[in-house]
Structure formats: structure tokens, C-alpha cells
Structure 1
Amino acid sequence: MKRLAIAFLITATLALSGPALAQPSEDGVRDFFSQFVAAQNAHDAAKVKSMLWNSPQLLFFSRGVEIRGTESVAARFSEYYQGTWRVAPDMSKFHVALISDHVAQILVPIVFTRGLPGAEPQSSTFLISQTLVRDSDGWKLASIMPIANTQFKQ
């Protein structure tokens, strides 16, 4: 009877703890990032929003402007999609740091082609730093920071 009670307790504890997450991999982070790029290039605002961390702490910092929270960051992307917006990462220079089972950092140069509606689009290259967090739904973007200097220095 005692063994049965212990087995029940262990089973109940495991059931209540939720599903275990598989070990994170650089390939999984790369796949997530590729899907994010595809959603942006498709101007799929709903898909992009679903890939953002659902937190008021989500950060998009660009050109000296700090935007926080899922709704505000998603709205900014939707504004970009009104005109020309295309991103082309140089995946040969894509770097991932797996900080923990639940946090990853990405660094990759990206050519942005952008322009207001009706305006001539212009292209420029930025180094993008992104922090991802992982929960039971998978990876989510927690911060996005474009950096003007795109040169990796040794």
C-alpha cells in the first residue's frame, strides 16, 4: 500500500509539472529565426505577433526609440508593413549563444530594404541582436536591437 501511495504521488507530481521541454539546439533557434524572417517578408503581422514574447518587458529598441510590450511592438511592425519592408539576413554570419535551456541570444547582419508607402525604398545593413525566451509554446522574441555597425571584429 505504501509503494502504491508513493507511485501515485510521483505520477501526480509529474502530471502537474507540465510537459518537459526538449534540450534547446542552435538548429531550433535558427529555424525559429528563419520563420520570423519569412513572416516579416510576407508582412504577416499576425504571425509576427505570435512570435513575440507575451510580456510588457518585450523590448524593441531602434534608432534611439524604446518600444515595450507585445501590442506596441506588433503595432510598430504593422506600420512598417504599410510600405516597403524586406529583411535579408546573412545566414553565413548567423551566431547563436544558448545561454540556458530557456534563453538564447542571436547576432546576425541583415540588409533592410524599407520605404514609406509610395516612396523609393532604400537598403541598409544592420547587425541585429535578438534575445529569445523559450516556454512550453517554443521560442519567442524577448528583445530586438539593430546595431548600425555591422562589422565583426576579432
Structure 2
Amino acid sequence: MYRIQQVANMSMLANIVMFISRENFTHFKDIILVGRQIPRGTPPAWYGKCVRYCKPRNKPPNVKGYQVGCISDDNCTYCKYYPCPEFSVCGNGEVPEPSYNRVCMACPGECLYMGETYALGETGIVSMDTVNECVCRGFIPQIVCQKKIPQPPPDIFCEY
């Protein structure tokens, strides 16, 4: 038996049920992580607000409806999962379309980054590492970040 807590809406619940029926999964503390293979040798574990994947290098699973942001140190990768925003119709009446990375839906001319939307040309967007800045740009809008400052240590990134 599996317990699903705090589902934001029926669409998200339907996605979770669909994944449970089709995919291999592992659950940690009421959160379900979906992926085709999560190695048994070094299982993912919570580290603050992140999921920690350690050697041998485990890749974080792609979860439909969530963007993932990760940092790495010498031994592990630490990831946060951000839900995609929900759209029915964009502000200008257009229909949302798949975003650059095809994980979420976005309004034309907008970027999606860690669960938030940004207008094309918008600058000063705080990067997921919380120390660098990004901009929304491109013919197919996408977030581009400049890494001028080294990433923070995992305990700061994960708010441990």
C-alpha cells in the first residue's frame, strides 16, 4: 500500500497514479520518486530539502511535471525537484506549449526555471545554485546562467 500526501490537484494525482502503474519506483518519507532504475547499492536519501545520490554516480530520475536542479561535490549529487506551473490559457490567450527541455508547458515567449515563469529578455534571475544570475533568452526561450561564483556547499543549497 502506498500513501500519497498533499496532491495539489486532480491532474497531478492522475500523473502519480499513472507512474505507479507503469514505472519502477521508490518512496522516501511520503514522497514518490519515479525512475526506470534506482540502483540498490547506494539508495537515494534525503539531505535537507534535497535528494542525495552518491557513488557510484546515480543519475536523478526525470519525473513528469517536475523540473530538477542539482549540484555536485566529489562524492554525491544533490537535487531539488520543482513542480511545473499549471496553465490553462496564457495571459494573451495563446495555448501553452512544451518548454525548451520538454518537461513542463510554458506560454510562448516565456522561460520556465525551477517552477517559475520569466519573460523573454528578463535578467537578474537568481540561479538554482542561489549565487549566480541567469537570463531568459533565445529563439526558443530558455534560461542561460553564467557561473561566475562557485556553487555553494550542499548544506547551504539543500538548507540542511
Structure with the larger RCO, 1 or 2 (CA within 8 Å, 6+ apart): 1
Which TM-score applies when normalising by structure 2?
Answer: 0.24
**Normalised by the size of structure 1, how large is the TM-score?**
0.24
Question: Which one has the bigger helix percentage?
Answer: 1
